[in-house]
A and B are shown apart, each in its own frame.
Chain A
């Protein structure tokens, strides 16, 4: 059996000041890491939640985002009535030609921000059963009415039911408020697509969202539309599209990872410093252990483990510190639409485990050299030290 762990634990406790100081550095690093990853995950989850696997999204060939796609009205009419597309009880095809524009709105707390306005067809809501009106009523096409998400209503001025704001050539009246929790729709304003085209002088739609009768029909429709050189469209499941949009989390993830790595270098050096001091202070103990028959390897492992234990304390603190942000709502800029996307931080057990692993890595890196120094001390020199 090796040198018992309680030896390390008690040493950490005895020099609790340096233990806490070092652990806090590691805790801070882990907390930043966990929070940034929670942010990225929350954002990704929001995108993934938005897409419905049963829907197909039609965009212009070459487009990677709805906002940069254009489809002429005439082209929409050429495939809107295809048999593969489901019909609702009134016999209308379940297909919604849509267009996205950006407008600026005043925030309640001052300043303004870009908000995404989505013009949808009359069927648009049927394609998104998760979106529910919670106040007022649906907009009526032709009356310059709109519905806004709960979050928009809460954050922007003039967005409560009955209020009006100006955008494009029109003054829009808020007819209702919808709830689209945990999807990107939670950051949008919806109104009639043709009114949006008119108010913002667009001759095109951006995309068409539609529901095929079944999966096989969907696959057939994708083929049928994509081989048509004339239509020049790209068709993909809505869920796929939103999965692609998770790349919006990339920059955050990258910056967060970068920051965490920089910080971890500092924290690992701090751990190394603490461990060097510990090795120095316990030189005679090391000599004694060696005389008792413990090998260099035992000493090495013991000090390395002590560093890891120290890091685990820090990691634990860091995870605890990050927990309160779980579920907290925030917003970030979407790099494809340049509007704000609202989402929630998402901390999972797996993420915490990653945070702890990160802490262990810092502990190992900080402990390697001091443990080596401890193990290589000649027995007699160690015994003579005071």
Chain B
């Protein structure tokens, strides 16, 4: 394995509801190497999303460390975290989460608005990203004019347009039919093998997980086999 891009050490996450404590993650340690394609698997409620959110810098651990590309994400303040996110992570949601009133092009352009790129440069990047996901001909379409599979591919284009090293996806095929799911998984695979993106994908579907190079199983907030595949 190359140098680890994600280093997780004794990471725990507790949720407290009055007197009741829910342990979402229990002292997890895990390394993810550069260029890996990891499938995070496990039954519902096992803590997959929680772990993914912490890696992506949109949630904080209760204890332990999560170092991504040399930055301890758990130590960043909110504004720094937002800045860090836009640079290092592309996030793909189960529900696509495209902005309904913006076209495919404008949706993909959104993260670039936070960079110093000129309009011309942004256009080039957006077109390249949409080309990569095979939707160059749908740039002017609104989300509701696209199929679910196409929406998710636009969302993937949006996640990778800033050229992040880490692509994280939470059940990216959960809302898709088998055909579209296969397309999206194939795309993630290509991005991983051809473009060298590190991909962390949460899924509970073994067929989806089969596209990954490595599988990590979670159960009740703990890693099975200590994170080995």
Contact = CB atoms under 8 A, between A and B. Distances in A.
A292 B86 contact: yes
B101 A293 contact: no
A287 B58 CA distance: 10
A220 interface: no
Contact of A6 (B53, B91, B97, B106): B106
Interface residues of A, number: 25
Interface stretch (A7-15, A88-96, A308-316, A346-354): A7-15
Nearest to A13: B101
A296 B81 CA distance: 12
Interface in B81-121: 82-83, 85-87, 91, 93, 95, 97, 99-102, 106, 110-111, 113-114
Interface string A273-293: 000000000001101111111
Contacts of B85: 291-293
A280 B16 CA distance: 26
Given A1-B114, A293-B85, A380-B53, A288 B79 contact: no
A294 B106 CA distance: 15
Interface of B is mostly: helix
B111 A293 contact: yes
A10 B102 contact: yes
A67 B78 CA distance: 72
Contacts of B53: 380
A289 B58 CA distance: 12
Given A1-B114, A284-B97, A380-B58, A290 B82 contact: yes
What 5 A-B pairs come out closest when comparing CB atoms? Answer: A293-B86, A10-B101, A288-B97, A1-B113, A292-B111
Taking residues whose C-beta sits less than 8 angstroms from the other chain, chain B's interface range is 20 to 34
B72 interface: no
A1 B58 CA distance: 21
A4 B113 contact: yes
Contact of A288 (B82, B83, B99, B101): B99
Interface of A: 1-4, 6-7, 10-11, 13-14, 284-285, 287-296, 379-380, 383
Contacts of B113: 1-4
Contacts of A293: 82-83, 85-87, 111, 114
Nearest to A9: B101
A295 B78 CA distance: 9
Given A7-B99, A288-B99, A294-B82, A380 B59 contact: yes
A291 B111 CA distance: 10
A294 B58 contact: no
A10 B100 CA distance: 10
Interface in B145-194: 158
Contacts of A6: 102, 106
A291 B58 contact: yes
A11 B93 contact: no
A284 B79 CA distance: 20
A291 B99 contact: no
Given A296-B78, A380-B59, 15 more contacts: A1-B113, A1-B114, A2-B113, A4-B106, A6-B102, A7-B99, A10-B101, A13-B101, A285-B97, A288-B99, A293-B85, A295-B79, A295-B82, A383-B58, A383-B93
